[in-house]
Amino acid sequence: MWLYFLKRMALAIAIIAIAVALMFLMIRAVPGDPAAILLGPRSTPEMRALLHEQMGLDKPLVVQIITFFGGLLHGNLGFDVFSQRPVADIVLEQLPFTIELILVSILWAVVVAVPLGCYSAVRRNSFVDQVAGVLAVATIAIPSFVMAVYALLIFAVTLRWLPAIGAGNGFWDGLIHLILPGFAIGVGWVGYISRLVRASMLEILGENHIRMARSFGISEWRIVARYALPLAILPTVTILGVGIAWLLSSAVFIEVVFARPGIGALIVNAVNTRNYPIVMGVVLVTTLLIVTATTLSDLINAFLDPRTREKL
């Protein structure tokens, strides 16, 4: 297990380094001058030259990339040119909002979808199973931002039950502000996870050790909860790890629709204005987030199923 862990960590570091380096090169390959965008149409060539100097853009590309990675080793992601604030501070103060949105979305999806998937598998082809199947496909097909707009119009604008924008203040207010955006992102996952759990549960329920348990007279729900579910949940754990990237892209739209703070809203603005230090900061953090999630899901899988440890 330890060897597997070390290999997996080395791979994660390599992935982060490659992703960040690629992004660094890609944003500089785009034609146009970031200083012209940041300073606007009224800027003079002298002002743009000064900004180039401040952002280090006047130096050769190799020097820029070495400076960036050198700073990274010291935890320095640079400074935002306008606000004069450290990029790390700007990114880290937005990160919790995105993480809480993703976690709430996925948590409520798992809480609803796993029992639903189990029920559908146990009561295969029942009315509930069929309705759940239809709803699952429907919710997967509807993009989260469409769901967000309609949820907002119904529950915030028309009924005024829930707040329309922002992240709230304090724990409970924050939680209330998470209901609509969390619902919008999570609803597609309910359908997806419930179908996934149902399919793998059906497979597990047909295996020999389950038949053996039944022959011992163990109740069906105990078999499902104790013997089948821990195995049937494995594909879901894997999917959730990979799904972080998908959730992050959903969060970008949702943060715009609900005017929520978060790294999605931050990167949209930073990319539009070619604010290189912020773009790099966000890319680094999102890459870390995705690599951490996939690594964690691999480690959990390896823990739950020792056979996977040999596959790296």
Partner 1 sequence: MNNIVGSVSRRTLLKTGAALGGGIIAAGMPLSQTIWAAEGKVLKARAFRELLTLDPGFYGGVADVDVMNCIYSKLTHFKPGTEWGWDLEAAEKIEPVDPTHIRFRLKKGIKFTGGYGELTAKDVKFSFERIIKHKSPVATEWGPLDHVELEDDYTGVIVFKTPFAPAWLISLPYGVGHIVSEDAVMKATGDGSSFGVKPPAFSGPYVIAEWKANEHLLLTRNPDWSGPKPGFDEIRILPIGDEKAAERAYQAGDIDFTRISLDSLASLKTNPPADTTVEEHASLSYTWLGMNLDHPKLKDINVRKAVQWAINVPQILDAAYAGQATVATGLIAPGLVGHRDKALVPPEGDLAKAKEFLEKAGVSDLTLTLDCLNDSTKSTIAQVIQAQLSQIGITVDVKVQDSGSFWTIGSEADGDRWKDMQLIIIEYTMLPDPYYATSSFVSEQVGVWNWQRFSSKHFDELNEKALALDDPSERAKLYREMQDLMEESGAYRFLTHGGTPVMYRTTQIQAATRPDGVPLYLEFKPV
**Which residues contact partner 1 by CB under 8 A?**
1-2, 30-34, 36-37, 39-48, 50-51, 82-85, 90, 93-94, 96-97, 99-100, 103-104, 107, 152-153, 156-157, 160, 163-171, 174-175, 230, 233, 256-262, 265-266, 268-269, 272, 274, 300, 303-304
Contacts of 115 (CB under 8 A, 6+ apart): none
Q: Which C-beta is closer to partner 1: that of 37 or that of 288?
A: 37
Rounded to the nearest whole angstrom, what is the least distance from the CB of residue 156 to partner 1 in the complex? 4
Q: Which residues pair with 219 in a beta bridge?
A: none
Q: How far is the CB of 266 from partner 1 (least distance, A)?
A: 7
d(CA 80, CA 29): 21
Name which of 129 and 252 has its Cβ closer to partner 1.
Answer: 252
Q: Enter the tokens of residue 101.
A: 């949105």
**Closer to partner 1 by Cβ: residue 202 or 296:** 296
Please answer whether residues 131 and 191 qualify as being in contact, where contact means their C-beta atoms are separated by less than 8 angstroms.
no
Q: How far is the CB of 135 from partner 1 (least distance, A)?
A: 25
* 96/60 Cα distance (integer angstroms): 35
Give whichever of 106 and 283 is closer to partner 1, judged by the CB atom: 106
- Are 39 and 51 contacting, i.e. CB atoms less than 8 angstroms apart? yes
Q: Report the nearest approach of partner 1 to the CB of residue 32 (Å).
A: 3
CB of 14 to partner 1, least distance (A): 25
Cβ atoms of residues 254 and 185 within 8 Å: yes
* Residue with Cβ nearer partner 1 (194 or 301): 301
Nearer to partner 1, 129 or 280 (CB): 280
Nearer to partner 1 among residue 19 and residue 50 (C-beta): 50
Residue 79 phi, psi dihedral angles, 5° rounding: -120, 145
Name every residue whose Cβ is closer than 8 Å to that of residue 201 and which is 6 or more positions away in sequence: 117, 118, 121, 122, 224, 228, 229, 232
Q: How many C-beta neighbours within 10 Å does residue 206 have?
A: 9
Nearest distance from C-beta of residue 227 to partner 1, angstroms? 11
Question: From the CB of 116, what's the least distance to partner 1, in Å?
Answer: 17
Name the one residue in this structure whose structure tokens are 């009315």: 127
| DSSP state, residue 217 | T
Closest approach, Cβ 157 to partner 1, in A, equals 5
Cα 223 to the center of its chain, rounded Å = 33
Residue 44 CB coordination number (10 Å):
9
Cβ proximity to partner 1: between 95 and 283 the closer is: 95
Q: What is the 8-class DSSP label of residue 277?
A: H
